[in-house]
Amino acid sequence: RKEVEQDPGPFNVPEGATVAFNCTYSNSASQSFFWYRQDCRKEPKLLMSVYSSGNEDGRFTAQLNRASQYISLLIRDSKLSDSATYLCVVNRGTNAGKSTFGDGTTLTVKP
């Protein structure tokens, strides 16, 4: 079993739809969590950190469920520009070298 698992998709949704991605992790000692966005043939860019209390940034909401060991990303009112691959990242500690990246979930938003 991979340490961090994501549904690879692809998720194909119409503009304006709400879409949710989940990411599960196996190490219960994991300490911090992030969502990154990666456009085709580009570098990953930090989308949001995920806090225990959940956090929201505009149309994006991230949640953490430590008991079930998963994080989620909800995108409301999807835009064409949201089309990308979304990577979940789990840190096992604060030192370098402790991050594990998921393989990503691909989202395509269609007109």
Partner 1 sequence: DGGITQSPKYLFRKEGQNVTLSCEQNLNHDAMYWYRQDPGQGLRLIYYSQIVNDFQKGDIAEGYSVSREKKESFPLTVTSAQKNPTAFYLCASSAGGDYNEQFFGPGTRLTVL
Site residues (vs partner 1, CB under 8 A): 31-32, 34, 41-46, 49, 87, 89, 91, 94-99, 101-104
Task: Report the residue number, 45 or 77, with the smaller CB distance to partner 1.
Answer: 45
At closest approach, how far in Å is the CB of 48 from partner 1? 10
Task: Report the residue number, 32 or 69, with the smaller CB distance to partner 1.
Answer: 32
Task: Report the residue number, 42 or 59, with the smaller CB distance to partner 1.
Answer: 42
| Ordered DSSP codes for 13-69 | EETT--EEEEEEES-TT--EEEEEEE-TTS-EEEEEEE-TT-EEETTEEEEEETTTT
Instruction: Give CA–CA dist 104/70, Å, rounded.
Output: 14
Instruction: Give CA–CA dist 63/55, Å, rounded.
Output: 7
Task: Report the residue number, 97 or 111, with the smaller CB distance to partner 1.
Answer: 97
At closest approach, how far in Å is the CB of 111 from partner 1? 25
At closest approach, how far in Å is the CB of 92 from partner 1? 11
CB neighbour list of residue 50: distance below 8 Å, 6 or more residues apart: 32, 33, 34, 35, 62, 63, 64, 71
At closest approach, how far in Å is the CB of 70 from partner 1? 17
